[in-house]
Amino acid sequence: MMDKVRRAGILGTGRYVPEKVVTNEDLSAKMDTNDEWIVTRTGIRTRHIAASGEAASDMAAEAGRRALERAGISADQISFMMVATGTPDYPIPSTASIVQEKLGLSHTGAMDISSGCAGLIYGLIIAGGMVSSGMADYVLVISSEMLSRHLDWTDRSVCILFGDGASAAVVGPVPEREGILSFDMGTDGRFWNSIHIPAGGVVQPVSEEAIRNKDIYMKMEGKKVFAWSVRRMKETADISLRRAGLDKKDISLFLFHQANLRIIQCLSEKMGIPMDKIPIELDRFGNTGPASVGIALDEALRKGYIRKGDKVLLDAFGAGFIWSSAVIGF
Ligand code: ACO
């Protein structure tokens, strides 16, 4: 254990998306939708969908491997790992156990995080706390979402929104003035059933009736989700900025959860942030759940959009309703 609190930050990131690309035209051939509707209402043009036989743990392991590589940290230096997912390989055990085995991290603790699309940011904050307090030196945080397996591919209002993917980050000690400068985490359980899969848990185990009623698929109240995500993502961003003692102008990039371009445009308008400070990845990947913010962060780092001294805001909202934000210095 360390006597002194130290700064924790992101040492390296990785991402993985499955090979297969599904375009809006591909979807239009299967259901009553079209490219124009999808692009106008969501901004999404393509998404990646996992191959049969591919699991959330496979995507997670690949993203984790790449993050370790980019951080220059070996597997045996990691002391704890987390996998944020709403689409675990199995109800029991945790997907983190399976990923731990795939990455050869047999000496670490491992756990899943079920915090909807905010899961990766929740994980980064928990990892940051562990590193800052000296409980751990290096923590691997992964998010992996394979919603394609939980979508009703005849429900055009939901299935067009999502893609499969994973992202990861190694959290470790960083110099003063870098790393996680502030954060906020929130939940509003009144809306727990506004995004949910009714069957498959203990309340409604999978049955022929559940399958017939399509209760095994994700249900979503689209308009409610839209309105609350704009409200909560703005509120949490304001809180994290205030806690960091920073103004919007001090932030180089705003990495918002990539659910829908219109949600992001609303945030840009309400917060007075120019769109060129908000990377957009959802056009290529769709909504990849908790992985989306990490994919956007990985892209921004790899393309050199984040430079030494920059401050970046991460901000996500999802099923629960759960949201979270963090200001991170590089
Ligand atoms: N193609 C063509 N028409 C469609 C489609 C489609 N894919 N989907 C719905 N429509 C039709 C509807 O049937 C409706 O027709 P009607 O007027 O004849 O009844 C019409 O389009 C309008 O439908 P709305 O649901 O009112 O469309 P809206 O503008 O609200 O857009 C959307 C729907 C895109 C789902 C929007 O509500 C939204 O983005 N919500 C946020 C969802 C979200 O981001 N969820 C994820 C966040 S949480 C997480 O990541 C798990």
* Average pLDDT over all residues of the chain: 97
Q: What is the pLDDT of residue 2?
A: 47
pTM of the model: 0.95
- 7-62 tens-digit pLDDT: 999 999 999 999 999 999 999 999 999 999 999 999 999 999 999 999 999 999 99
- 101-142 tens-digit pLDDT: 999 998 999 999 999 999 999 999 999 999 999 999 999 999
Residues whose CB falls within 8 Å of the CB of residue 297, separated by 6 or more in sequence, listed in order? 10, 13, 167, 169, 255, 312, 314
21: tokens are 């690309």
- Annotation marks residue 287 as catalytic: yes
pLDDT bucket at 1, cuts 50 / 70 / 90: very low
3, pLDDT greater than 60: no
Q: What is the pLDDT of residue 60?
A: 98
Distance 155 CA to ligand 1 centre (A): 10
Q: How buried is 169 (Cβ within 10 angstroms: 0-12 exposed, 13-18 middle, 19+ buried)?
A: buried
Distance 128 CA to ligand 1 centre (A): 37
- 277-294 tens-digit pLDDT: 999 999 999 999 999 999
How far is residue 179 from each of residues 68, 115, 131, 182, 226, measured CA to CA in Å?
Answer: 17, 22, 11, 9, 30
The residue whose C-alpha atom lies closest to atom 41 belonging to ligand 1 is: 226
The residue whose C-alpha atom lies closest to atom 35 belonging to ligand 1 is: 222
Distance 149 CA to ligand 1 centre (A): 20
- The catalytic position among 24, 48, 159, 257 is 257
The residue whose C-alpha atom lies closest to atom 11 belonging to ligand 1 is: 157
Please give the average per-residue pLDDT across 146-169, as a whole number.
Answer: 96
198 preceded by a cis bond (ω within 30 of 0): no
Q: What is the pLDDT of residue 167?
A: 98
- What residues flank ligand 1, with Cβ below 6 Å? 33, 37-38, 41-42, 116-117, 156-157, 160-161, 195, 220, 222-223, 225-226, 229, 259-260, 263, 287, 289, 318-319
Give the residue among 60, 75, 70, 56 at the shortest CA–CA distance from 13. Answer: 70
Distance 39 CA to ligand 1 centre (A): 11
What proportion of the chain, given as a percentage, has pLDDT over 70? 99
Ligand 1: nearest atom to the Cα of 41:
34
Ligand 1: nearest atom to the Cα of 158:
35
Q: What is the pLDDT of residue 5?
A: 77
Give the residue among 134, 160, 130 at the shortest CA–CA distance from 147. Answer: 160
- Annotation marks residue 117 as catalytic: yes
The residue whose C-alpha atom lies closest to atom 20 belonging to ligand 1 is: 157
Distance 222 CA to ligand 1 centre (A): 6
Q: What is the pLDDT of residue 4?
A: 65
Specify the amino acid at residue 117.
C
- The catalytic position among 24, 48, 117, 159 is 117
- 173-225 tens-digit pLDDT: 999 889 999 999 999 999 999 999 999 999 999 999 999 999 999 999 999 99
**What b/e readout covers 121-149, taking b as 16+ CB neighbours within 10 angstroms?**
bbbbbbbbbbbbeeebbbbbbbbbbbbbe
Please give the average per-residue pLDDT across 146-157, as a whole number.
Answer: 96
Give the residue among 151, 153, 157, 149 at the shortest CA–CA distance from 38. Answer: 157
Distance 138 CA to ligand 1 centre (A): 41
Which of 44, 45, 147, 157 for mutating ligand 1's site (highest number of atoms within 8 Å of CB)? 157
State the CB neighbour count (10 A cutoff) for residue 172. 25
For helices 95-102 and 56-71, give the axis angle rounded to 10 degrees: 50
Ligand 1: nearest atom to the Cα of 262:
39
The SS3 of residue 156 is helix
